[in-house]
Structure 1
Amino acid sequence: MRLSMSVTNFSWRDGALATRLAEIARAADAGGLDGLWVADHLLQADPYGARPGETEMLEAYTTLGYLAAVTGRIQLGTLVTGVTFRPPALLVKAVTTLDVLSGGRALLGIGAGYQADEAAAMGLPLGPVGERFDRLEEALQIALQLWAGDETPFHGAHYRLEHPQSSPAPIRRPPILIGGTGEKRTLPLVARYGDVCNVFDIPDGGATVRHKLGVLQRLCDEIGRPYAEIEKMIATRLGPDETAEAFVERCSAFVELGIDHVGVITTGPWTDAAVATLAEAVPGIAAL
């Protein structure tokens, strides 16, 4: 099992924001964590932080470029980018640039988007739900076409690329994580296009996770895709006083659910102690 962390809150009060972010990222990198994710919002959306807009939020891909420069091995991506934030070609170029400049460490995390309050506050597009999912599927198709080096025109219902090009090419095709677990639109997209499925640690004894992964397996079977090709990642929260030993023990239950990867968030901004707890847990998680 692999372990990564997600930065959702940038409101450090014990040092300059850039300094603290770099320190946290370097500690995660040195500690053996597999991935470092950042939220992609213009306003603070951490449900456990202050009200939206009251605390600091950084633009995601500028932040990931900075993190690429201060780390050496950890994978980098968003959890997740709303498809309406950027035209697909621009998004793919940003992720490709991150991959090239980081030495092949970029991930594409993408979803349909959901923050209506943020969109209204900041003038961001956020169409009807069905349209957003249609756009998401076209964006996924465009990403895979560009990364395959296919320069034939793309004519979709929402996007038209007359001569799509991706130069430089990524060092390796960035893995795609599709956010959400909706059974009508999201999980079918994961089955067709995703490399990573992201489920949530809900306190119901694993019933929801089992159900969602069962749906995904059925969808994979229907289209003839090996279910094992898709990495199953679960999002969970590190408790404020949780020890590395307790965290590993808690994660051991995820193995029985078929989870391959644990992605961790924390209440408020990450602390040095919390990252140290994850780093201490890495060997135990890897052994599960």
Structure 2
Amino acid sequence: MFPEIRMRRLRNGRIRDLVRETSLSADNLIYPMFVDETISTVQSTASMPGVDRLPLDRVADDAKEAADLGIPALILFGIPAHKDAQGSSAWGDEDIVQQAVREIKEELGRDMLVITDVCLCEYTDHGHCGMVDMEKGEVLNDQTLPLLGRTAVSHAKAGADMVAPSGMMDGMIGAIRSALDENGLRDIPIMSYAAKYSSAFYGPFRDVAESGCCFGDRSTYQMDPANSDEAMREVELDIMEGADIIMVKPALPYLDIIYRVKNEFKMPTAAYNVSGEYAMIKAAAQNGWLDEKKVMYESLLSIKRAGADMILTYFAKDMARMLK
């Protein structure tokens, strides 16, 4: 006991570094990118300062900047010129994400792991993540599954290294795994948004991606923020269906879920540091209320400490620069 035991002995100078339990590196970061078929110049976004919508001819340059900073992976979100009830611009060979994948792979090859978000919300005119029955105001689970499989196959054929389904449709991982395998794409891994909560923290993303709902919300298919045991069931089902990496989204309000998932399943685990988490720090820093770099680092370190092996974050490039 004190005074013989003094915990402060290990908190001075380089000793502090030697006993650090958790480390964060650029290797842990995944950089989200938005490619917009409707623009010809880079467009900034008010709700997410520092996050841009990119025209197709700029995606390779932005990806190269991330690669030069040591970031090993990015995830692509597409904003199409045409939206319809099915989200048919999600799976065409010449649609925006497919073109962006080819541009990035041609420029960087194996130097950048390209992941694609597989969901329909950016491509549907109603903004939901699947087919809908407009009369009933209902999102149709089973009718959506073949479309998600078709989208994943098109991304992989364009050169994507990994697909990341985010729609929270029951059975989506099994449907996508079957579709990939049937098309000779057995080596393409799936990173599942396995525990994706119906969260108010997604607001700035929906502004940037133009994916707001025209009716209702996503609470009938995304998880209730009050539930944690349910997350374990969701994750277990996705693993059984063939998920290679599992994800918790959002991250900071759900550190307990990240911890439980990692400890229970011992699977490669991702966490999405979402747009609302990013925007709050940016806004507070702009007002002089927080030190942006220190809070950014502390936030991402806490996600890693909770058990995440990889972090999808809009801070990726800023964090990589700071770590350098």
TM beyond 0.5 = yes
Equivalence for 2:191: 177
Pairing of 1:16-165 with structure 2 (within 5 A): 17-40=55-78, 42=80, 59-72=96-109, 73-82=111-120, 84=145, 86=147, 88=149, 91-92=152-153, 94-98=155-159, 106-112=161-167, 132-143=169-180, 146=181, 164-165=182-183
Q: Is the contact between residue 155 and residue 163 of structure 2 (CA under 8 Å) also seen in structure 1?
A: no
Structure 1 residues 20 and 94, CA gap change in structure 2 (3 angstroms)? closer
Q: How far apart, in 2, do the equivalents of 1:66 and 1:85 lie? A: 27
Offset of 1:136 from its aligned partner? 4.3
Offset of 1:282 from its aligned partner? 4.6
Equivalence for 2:272: 234
Residue identity opposite 1:257 in structure 2? A
* 2:320 paired with 1:279: yes
* 2:324 paired with 1:263: no
What secondary structure sits across from 1:197 in the alignment?
strand
Q: Is the contact between residue 231 and residue 260 of structure 1 (CA under 8 Å) also seen in structure 2?
A: yes
Structure 1 residues 79 and 281, CA gap change in structure 2 (3 angstroms)? farther
Pairing of 1:244-263 with structure 2 (within 5 A): 244-263=293-312
TM-score (norm 2): 0.51
Equivalence for 1:199: 248
Which of 187, 206, 210 pairs up with 2:235? Answer: 187
Q: How far apart, in 1, do the equivalents of 2:146 and 2:33 lie? A: 19
Aligned residues: 205
List runs of 5+ in structure 1 lacking aligned partners: 46-57, 100-105, 114-131, 147-163, 219-226, 267-273, 284-288
Structure 1 residues 278 and 203, CA gap change in structure 2 (3 angstroms)? closer
What secondary structure sits across from 2:303 in the alignment?
helix
Structure 1 residues 30 and 165, CA gap change in structure 2 (3 angstroms)? same
Identity of aligned residues (%): 12
Residue identity opposite 1:138 in structure 2? A
Structure with the larger RCO, 1 or 2 (CA within 8 Å, 6+ apart): 1
Q: How far apart, in 2, do the equivalents of 1:245 and 1:235 lie? A: 16
Q: How far apart, in 1, do the equivalents of 2:116 and 2:75 lie? A: 5
List runs of 5+ in structure 2 lacking aligned partners: 1-23, 45-52, 84-94, 121-143, 196-222, 224-229, 286-290
Residue identity opposite 2:60 in structure 1? A
Query: Which has the greater radius of gyration?
Result: 2
Q: Is the contact between residue 108 and residue 176 of structure 1 (CA under 8 Å) also seen in structure 2?
A: yes
Structure 1 residues 68 and 265, CA gap change in structure 2 (3 angstroms)? same
Q: How far apart, in 1, do the equivalents of 2:56 and 2:183 lie? A: 34
CA-atom RMSD in angstroms: 3.7
Q: How far apart, in 2, do the equivalents of 1:60 and 1:234 lie? A: 20
Q: Is the contact between residue 26 and residue 71 of structure 1 (CA under 8 Å) also seen in structure 2?
A: yes
Q: How far apart, in 2, do the equivalents of 1:177 and 1:213 lie? A: 18
Q: Is the contact between residue 40 and residue 78 of structure 1 (CA under 8 Å) also seen in structure 2?
A: no
Equivalence for 1:51: none
Q: Is the contact between residue 153 and residue 183 of structure 2 (CA under 8 Å) also seen in structure 1?
A: no
Structure 1 residues 133 and 31, CA gap change in structure 2 (3 angstroms)? same
Q: How far apart, in 2, do the equivalents of 1:77 and 1:133 lie? A: 21
Q: How far apart, in 1, do the equivalents of 2:249 and 2:150 lie? A: 30
